[in-house]
Amino acid sequence: EIRNPLVAIKTFAQLLPERFDDADFRKEFNQIVVSEIDRLDKIITQINNFAHPPELVLKPIDVREPVKKAVEIAKSRYGINGKVELETSLPSNLPRVLGDETALAEAFAHLVANAAEASADRSKPRITLSAKPVREGEHSSAVVVTVQDNGTGIAPDIKAKIFSPFCTTKPRGMGLGLPIVKRTVFDHHGRVEVDSTPKGTQVSVLLPAATTAD
């Protein structure tokens, strides 16, 4: 994944001396180099975040906020566009969770980006983000945030390895998104569950509700 952008940059750099007078080539060279450097920057950032995760600052938060931020991150960073139908169901009666808003937003953004890629081949790609309280008696003990797509699902032999670092079926991917998600949720004392069929994949993130002591 790192080698690919380097090869593109090197190829254009080698051609530059003999085609320097070609204005169209110089324009293309500039576009390619900037694009590939941006791509390298994203890769390095992802590796760094995985190897050296920032220290979490946990406090009672409204889980709807990191979910909303995740959508914006996914749109700007991963290029999710209007072709993907994005539905949200985020009721106002959710209990607060003890969480780091920035870390959770990054984790949810990975899930949204994965869902968009998984459903890209559908004629009408669709992603649904929802959240609901988990109740024990009269009290809410947790919140479940679900990201669901209408893609073709995850192959059974891959599903068992999706949380392993560098496991990916994407031609342009590092395979670090889901490991980062799992670690982030684990650090929030939650859990991640994946349910996948040929009609789509649903990833559910369970986060414990904040207590009055928090």
Given this model, what pLDDT does residue 161 score?
Answer: 82
User: What pLDDT sits at residue 145?
Assistant: 97
pLDDT at 160 (0 to 100): 78
**What is the pLDDT tens value at each position of the chain, 214 positions in all?**
566 778 888 888 888 888 888 889 889 888 888 888 887 887 787 777 777 777 888 999 999 999 999 999 888 876 676 788 889 999 998 999 999 999 999 999 999 998 998 888 898 999 999 999 998 766 679 999 999 999 989 888 888 787 776 656 665 555 677 888 999 999 999 999 999 999 999 999 999 999 865 6
Closest CA to 147 of 210, 97, 206, 78: 206
Give the per-residue pLDDT at 144.
96
User: Where are the strands (E) in 14-125, listed by range?
Assistant: 59-61, 85-89, 97-99
The sign of the CA dihedral 9, 11, 17, 21 is negative
DSSP labels, 97-126: EEE-HHHHHHHHHHHHHHHHHHTTTSSS-E
Q: What's the pTM?
A: 0.75
The reported pLDDT for the residue numbered 137 is: 65
| Measured distance CA(7)–CA(4) in Å, rounded | 5
List, in order, residues 6 or more apart from 184 with CB less than 8 Å away: 53, 103, 104, 106, 107
